[in-house]
Amino acid sequence: MNKTICELFAGVGGFRLGFERADSGWETTWFSQWEPGARTQWANQCYVQHFGDSPDINGEFHTCEDISTVDKNAIPDHTLLVGGFPCQDYSVAQSLSSSKGIEGKKGVLWWQIRDTIEAKRPAFCIFENVDRLLKSPAKQRGRDFGIILSCLNALGYSAEWRVINAAEYGAAQRRRRVFIFAYRNDTVYADSVKEMDELSLINSDGFMAKSFPIEQVENCFEGTLMNDLLEMTDKFSFDFKSAGLMRNGKIYTNNVVPVMETPILLGDILQSNVDESFYITNEKMSKWTYLKGAKKINRISKTGHEYVFSEGPIAFPDSWDKPGRTMLTSESTLNRSTHVVSDPGTGGLRTLTPIEAERLQGFDDDWTNSGMPNRMRFFCMGNALVVPMITRMAKVLDGIIVNEK
């Protein structure tokens, strides 16, 4: 089977870089990256600078357009579909025409993935999302992830998932994300695991267990999906755990403990004697101190209820002897979540540099140094995934692909 990839919501190319680092012949046939409302498409430009652009089967270029306007049938064939898509409300509604059945909310990008799978039928898929996907929405926990699994089931796929803290598997950032691995039920791989019991797949024999080893669990919780997405929207709720699998509409899940690996520490990625523009000025030091400190603030809700908003302190500066905290798109701005470090050369307090942000995500130095402003470099890294986690999965998938027809 050809080792070809289609990368949706590609950002600056984390999935592609991760697979190319596996150095086993993966080829990306098409990608899509478009930022709604952005005057300059910085991420797309960065991607193209590194990898070049990708025509569709008609020789046309639509990689920097709204994916909802792209003809999914014109996307080149691929073995593997990948993408990191936003966590949104995945509920569905009856369409205006009853002949069309149900439709997802406009702008919700999962449905573009679903349509691509339906059109191109890739053998395998790997998706990334924030870990709260498993629990959303708050009033009907697990519904949104259940809808995704139900879509995959209806399309003839089985799936595994794992919540991964990248630092627990050797990376430089304590970033928790859920990864979803789906495989078509008529693949050789599906046939090879269909007789394996669910617990062994979660513990040791499944794709996620081989990519990210865990301490063994002794049982799993079970559930059943609903076939009708409208019914799922109204009634489905399930307590999805940090690991699990779905096949034939059945859910098997439990929380797992990783086999810990030594992480890269924040101190290991820091540059020394950086440009003075990154240092915190005396004028702003009191504001930073306030934002990072513990707070108790009296507030009134929209309904008139009085309550106390409280939050604990954040290390100020961030400790060198731990991996970095989760990096957000707001990194480098004056806010509570931004990393503040003591420069190894000067000892002065400062924010991270773009290169340090790239290192937190496992990219090459200056990956985003393609003409985009520093603020956008941080934004792109805050949206990115931890590249070494992708390479781990690529190496396991290599062993699966070799057996396919």
- By residue count, the chain amounts to 405
The answer to whether 243 and 163 have CB atoms below 8 angstroms apart is: yes
Q: Is 100 exposed, middle or buried (0-12, 13-18, 19+ CB in 10 A)?
A: exposed
H/E stretch holding 306: strand 306-311
In the residue annotation, 87 being an active-site residue is answered as: yes
Helices (H), 81-215: 110-120, 143-154, 188-193, 198-200, 207-211
CA distance 225 to 113: 20
Determine the 3-state secondary structure of 208 from DSSP. helix
Strand partners, 104: 92
CA distance 202 to 180: 13
Count CB atoms within 10 A of the CB of residue 392: 20
Catalytic: which of 6, 64, 87, 151?
A: 87
CA distance 404 to 91: 35
Helices (H), 293-341: none
CA distance 347 to 343: 5
b/e code 47-74 from CB counts within 10 Å (16+ = b):
bbebbeebebeeeeebbbeebeebebee
DSSP 8-class letter at 227:
S
Closest CA to 240 of 256, 226, 229, 227: 256
For the annotated catalytic residues, the residue numbers are: 87
